[in-house]
Structures are given as structure tokens and as C-alpha cells.
Amino acid sequence: MKIVIVGASGTMGKYLTSAFEKGNEIVTAARKGCDVRVDITSTASIENMYRQVGSFDALISTAGPTFVGAWNKLTDKEFRQGVEGKMMGQINLVLIGQNYINTKGSFTLITGALSHDPQRNFANASAANGAVEGFVRAAAIELQNGIRINAVSPTVIEDSPRYFPFFPGDMPVTMQQLEFGFRKSVFGANTGQVIKPY
């Protein structure tokens, strides 16, 4: 299976690349340091990525910049970081990618528990996550050619301890749990689902 991993230079992306490379052809994509360069805030960059990759069977996204910070610093400009990054960036991966993905392929996007369990400093991420999850449910009933789409929605992950203080009382998701959530989406039969790997 040819799998494109967008955000492959990050903590989740690096782990998933290693986990999925056995038995699959992996194409890594990020702003730098990967097989293909892509800026998901740019539709032209996304289109160029797909032209370089060619046809593929599955896309995993672990990308999506958002604004993290105090509520009193949240302005239109800061809020658009999540709108243009995690929300529209991932949505455009699907809207453009549907023209390149093979029949019966799959898209797996990243959201997070903040969509239903908000924390201080993460209003932007909560809104973006909720929008992406709504998009996944809607896209699932309209994508053609047997193409599936799901989102994986973890809490804070164990390999990102700098975020632990922002999630008091939350048990971090292990990297293996995260991997199995993505495996369920990529290799399973579900579509339109928000998969919670915990």
C-alpha cells in the first residue's frame, strides 16, 4: 500500500512513519526534512505535493498548526492560524487529494479530545478540531469510488510531555494506542468515524 504521511517531521508523524513502513511504501511530506515539501496552508503547495506523489492508496495527516495561548490574546489573526492550518489545511488535503487517490483509498485526519473536552489556552484548537470532525462525517457520505475518511482524536500523547501541564488529570495516550487508531482507519472498513485511541 502506498501511504502518504503529511506532518511526517513531527512527533506523531515520525512514529507513524516507522510503524507503517514495514510492508508499505511510505511517502513523507512536511514543510522540510521529508520526501516531499508541503505547506498545508497553501492550496498550490498541496496540489504540487500530489503531483509529485502521483496516485496513492492512503493519506494520513498529523499536521495542523493552531494558536496556543491565553484567551485575552486570541484575536482574529491568531484564530486564523487554526482555521487556515488545522481546519482548511486538512480539508484541502481531501478536497484536492480526492482527484489523486486510488479507488477504495482512505484519508485519515487528526483532531483531538479538545473538540469535546476543552482546556485553557486551546480555544482555537477546539474549534478547528470540531470543524474537521464535522467535515469528516459529511465527506464520508459524498466521497466517490469507495473512498473512506476518518479522524483520529487522541488526548495529549506520551511523547509530548511539554503539553502535560495543559491537560491536568488526562492520561496520556501511548504511541502504540495512537498507532492502532491510525491502523483502524487505514486498514479497517469504517468511514465517517472519529476514532478515539484511548
Strand order in the sheet with 2-6: 36-37, 25-30, 2-6, 56-61, 101-110, 148-152, 194-195
Q: How buried is residue 169: exposed, middle or buried, by Cβ count under 10 Å (0-12/13-18/19+)?
A: exposed
Global model pTM greater than 0.85: yes
* pLDDT for res 146: 98
All 3 cell numbers of residue 28? 513523507
* pLDDT for res 32: 96
* pLDDT for res 161: 96
As a whole number of Å, the CA-based R_g of the chain is 16
Measured CA to CA, the distance from residue 194 to residue 117 in angstroms comes to 14
Sequence-ordered list of residues with C-beta below 8 angstroms from that of 152, at least 6 positions apart, any chain: 108, 109, 110, 111, 178, 181, 182, 185, 194, 195, 197
Tell me the three state secondary structure of residue 81: helix
* pLDDT for res 175: 98
Neighbours of 180 (CB within 10 A): 15
* pLDDT for res 188: 98
Q: Can you give the pLDDT of all 198 residues of the chain as single tens digits? A: 999 999 999 999 999 999 999 999 999 999 999 999 999 999 999 999 999 999 999 999 999 999 999 999 999 999 999 999 999 999 999 999 999 999 999 999 999 999 999 999 999 999 999 999 999 999 999 999 999 999 999 999 999 999 999 999 999 999 999 999 999 999 999 999 999 998
Angle, helix 123-140 to helix 88-97, in steps of 10 degrees: 20
* pLDDT for res 4: 98
2-195 topology per CATH: Rossmann fold (3.40.50)
* pLDDT for res 76: 97
Of 39, 85, 90, nearest in space to 61 by CA: 90
- Give residue for cell 486510488: 102
* pLDDT for res 63: 96
The angle at the Cα of 60, spanning 125 to 150, to the nearest 5 degrees, equals 70
